[in-house]
Amino acid sequence: MEFKLSEEEKERYDRQMMIPNFGEEGQLKLKKSKVTVVGAGGLGCSVTLYLAAAGVGTLTIIDPERVELSNLNRQVLHWTEDIGELKAVSVARKLEKLNPAVEVKAVPERLTMENVRGLIGGSDVVVDCLDNWHTRFLLNEACVAERIPMVHAGIRGLYGQMTTIIPYQTPCLRCILPETPPEEERFPVLGTTPGVLGVLEAFEALKLIVGIGVSLAGKLLVFDGEAMSFQEIRVERNESCSVCGEKRF
Ligand SMILES: [Zn+2]
């Protein structure tokens, strides 16, 4: 891949390159960047759509599942004709049409202790778009071990929360939640909830890569769609955190 912008790219990204401190330099940072999105459900559809449109160079999408009819109220990159298709492949196909310059890698695999570090290694940012705590904590550990920033979001019903984790600088997910919350097989979701949180995750990833603005590092953002309000909670590192704490041994 050539690391300068073509005339076509200058035109495609014209409006975002007008942003102060973004410019061609910011666009080149995006073009060189590798982002891994774990989960191609409601959050993942929203995140990958905006990251591909913005011109992230390499986008890896990890999800082992196939599209089901009951996904379509919220997983907006999967359409009726895609039922039965692998979600990672379904998303990749849409993103390639949106922006052929982005290298989209579909990885239809389930994260395990054995494969997680290999799958995310070399990423500039990892985006957590998962729907279960078990895999999310596996991902948190791997991101801390690989020292890769991770943007986390979780949703339920009309509610969501998110934070940005910079390993050894900010609290990791385990600092914030020492006990794993109970898993829920099927939970309610209004499609717009992962829509909002996914766009905010993409927002954080783009800012981290380009180096603009203030991130959610060290802050948990809580979204209440019922009241249409956002609340910010300061979170602290736990020095005896089993994942990133200095006194963990
Ligand atoms: Zn921690």
pLDDT tens figures, 75-93:
999 999 999 999 999 999 9
Residue 248 has pLDDT above 90, yes or no: no
* Radius of gyration for the chain, computed over Cα atoms and rounded to the nearest angstrom: 18
Which residues contact residue 29 at a Cβ distance below 8 angstroms, ignoring those fewer than 6 apart? Answer: 209, 210, 211
- Are residues 197 and 222 in contact, defined by beta-carbon separation less than 8 angstroms? no
Instruction: Summarize pLDDT for 90-145 with one digit per residue, the tens.
Output: 999 999 999 999 999 999 999 999 999 999 999 999 999 999 999 999 999 999 99
Q: Are 10 and 17 in contact (CB under 8 A)?
A: yes
Res 2: pLDDT: 61
Count of H helices and E strands in the chain? 9, 8
**Residue extents of the structural domains in the chain:** 33-234
CATH for 33-234 is 3.40.50.720
pLDDT value, residue 170: 97
The CA 246 to ligand 1 mean position distance, Å, reads 9
pLDDT value for 163: 98
CA distance 18 to 140: 35
Residue 187 clears pLDDT 70, i.e. is over it: yes
CA of 149 to the centre of ligand 1 (A): 13
Distances (CA, A) of 154 to 14, 89, 161, 179: 32, 23, 6, 16
For ligand 1, the distance from its centroid to the CA atom of residue 179, given in whole angstroms, is 12
Residue 3 is predicted with a pLDDT of 75
Kindly give the distance from the C-alpha atom of residue 183 to the centroid of ligand 1, in angstroms, as a whole number. Answer: 20
pLDDT of 247 above 80: no
How many angstroms is it from 167 CA to the middle of ligand 1?
8
Q: Percentage of the chain surpassing pLDDT 90?
A: 96
For residue 13, report the distance from its CA to the centre of ligand 1, in Å. 37
Q: pLDDT tens-digit profile of 17-39? A: 999 999 999 999 999 999 999 99
Bridge partners for 189 per DSSP: 157
- The Å distance, Cα 212 to ligand 1 centre, comes to 25
Nearest to 80 by CA among 68, 96, 62: 68
pTM higher than 0.95, yes or no? yes
The predicted-structure confidence for 191-235, as pLDDT tens digits, reads as follows: 999 999 999 999 999 999 999 999 999 999 999 999 999 999 999
Quote the pLDDT of residue 25. 97
Look up residue 119 and give its amino acid: L
Residue 249 has pLDDT above 70, yes or no: no
pLDDT at position 166 = 98
Q: How confident is the model at residue 177 (pLDDT cuts 50, 70, 90)?
A: very high
49-68 per-position pLDDT tens digit: 999 999 999 999 999 999 99
Distance (angstroms) between ligand 1 centre and the Cα of 141 equals 9
User: Can you give the pLDDT at residue 146?
Assistant: 98
